[in-house]
Amino acid sequence: MHLPTEEHIKRDRSQRIKAKAEALGFLSCGIAKAEFLAEEAPHLEQWLKNNYHGQMTYMENNFDMRLDPRLLVDGAKSVISLAYNYYQELDRPADSYKIALYAQGEDYHFVVKEKVRELLAYIQEEIGEVSGRAFADSAPILEHAWAKKAGIGWVGKNSLTLSKQKGSFFFLSELILDLDLAYDQPMQTDHCGQCTRCIDACPTQAILPNKTVNGSQCISYFTIELKEQIPTEMKGKFDDWIFGCDVCQEVCPWNRFSLPTDQQRFVGHEKINQFSKKEWQEITEEVFQEVFRKSPIKRTKFSGLKRNIDFIKPVKYSCDIE
């Protein structure tokens, strides 16, 4: 009788983890060795030096931690990268404002993190004493770098993770463990080719060459992260987006393979995409609190959403004399 080798045990554990991830509804699951991200370090440093983070000062914090998962979990050996589908087909009225697809339903921080924690609990039950932490856009982690290392996809020109089979409308999350596992091959190929649709379509020219996005020029930054008034030079460039922006994903050819999510908690509130522009402009704080009670849109607060709407609605001039 041959006892299983260490490699066999690691492969078996990895396969069971991936099967459980699929059962929990994850679109993809890949595993990479927990190590310092040497290739990403100079890019992150230059991105910050260029002030592409704008007023997102939190991006300046924990520089080393962003590059080394072992600083987040003592003795970390594996990073499990997970993708969760949020795509849905919307029937927006022509006379309405736009909200990014990821913000249509419940806040993904809670929905996805619940799933990641379930996966961690499964691992601890099945394998034994394993220390780890679950993350869903909730810590200084370079998510797209880990998705690439885990073989989930490549980093597109819009800086998002892309998959030939699944597009890019998915949330990324991570599970960092002090457990040795069988590691997947990093994604080596880039299937964007000579396509520049996302660069050409970006309303504010925020997408730069070399897979770099000037975050401080992105519509998502202006409508979510920026707390002060939106610069006047951006007037007329928002294409009716009042929270986030999906333009670079909408024009990406790989997203023709996106399939609607079966996670009902991500499906948009029935009122969100039925409001006319007039109704958006007249929204009250009471309606805001009711409709967006569990939504990511609460991040911008009522005052921030009103600022966004006021910024993009056309100015009306009246010559009426009473």
Active site residues: 137
Task: Measure Cα distances from 1 to 4, 5, 7, 64 in Å.
Answer: 10, 12, 17, 47
Q: Name the strand (E) or helix (H) holding 212.
A: strand 212-213
Neighbouring CB atoms inside 10 A of 209's CB total 8
Alpha-carbon gap, residue 263 to 126, rounded angstroms: 26
DSSP-derived 3-state class of residue 49:
helix
Phi, psi of 246 (to 5 degrees): -120, 10
Sorted by sequence, the CB contacts under 8 Å of residue 25 that are 6+ apart come out as 84, 115, 262, 263
CA end-to-end distance (rounded Å), the chain = 98
Angle subtended at Cα 296 by Cα 292 and Cα 301, rounded to the nearest 5 degrees: 65
